[in-house]
Amino acid sequence: MSTVSKPGLLKRALPPPALAVLIGLLMWLLAEPSPDFAMASWLRYPLLALLCISGVVMDSTSVFTFLRRKTVLNPYAPHKASTLVLTGAFRYSRNPMYLGLVLLLSAWGLYLSAWWSVAGPIAFFLYIDRFLIPHEEAALKLVFGEPYLQYLKDVRRWL
């Protein structure tokens, strides 16, 4: 059975931004009992700013690109996509919105400075990469055909 034929399960799943917030809350709860990792503040704060700014820019520009092209933002309904977006950050990553959320969770983990918080962005990445993206890709292959297949060859999934 293909992943496209399981819409019921996907309709009940959390939207990726909500999942990222939930994981962020879990990271915060696990930070207290977790051992801290030490990083010099001269390195930690610029890295934190870089991750945070990159994540916000990646997410916001990608969302605005979808809105300008008037296509669906719902990752659980890729079959409703009206336009194949190949501009902006989508020239370099097929999933810049998810990448932005991974960057923001990484910034949050760095801010928390707890070893258990490292698991948050990894868990989010694995869920999105193994569960959600294959569903989206299968549906988009059906919707857009050859142009999407070429896009898969030309642009990496993450970076």
For 128, residues 6+ apart whose C-beta sits below 8 A from its C-beta are 16, 95, 98, 102
Stated pTM of the model: 0.92
Would you say residue 46 lies in a domain?
A: yes
Would you say residue 132 lies in a domain?
A: yes
The parent domain of residue 67 ranges over 41-154
Q: pLDDT (tens digit, 9 = 90+) per residue, 74-132?
A: 999 999 999 999 999 999 999 999 999 999 999 999 999 999 999 999 999 999 999 99
Would you say residue 59 lies in a domain?
A: yes
Domain count, the chain: 1
Would you say residue 117 lies in a domain?
A: yes
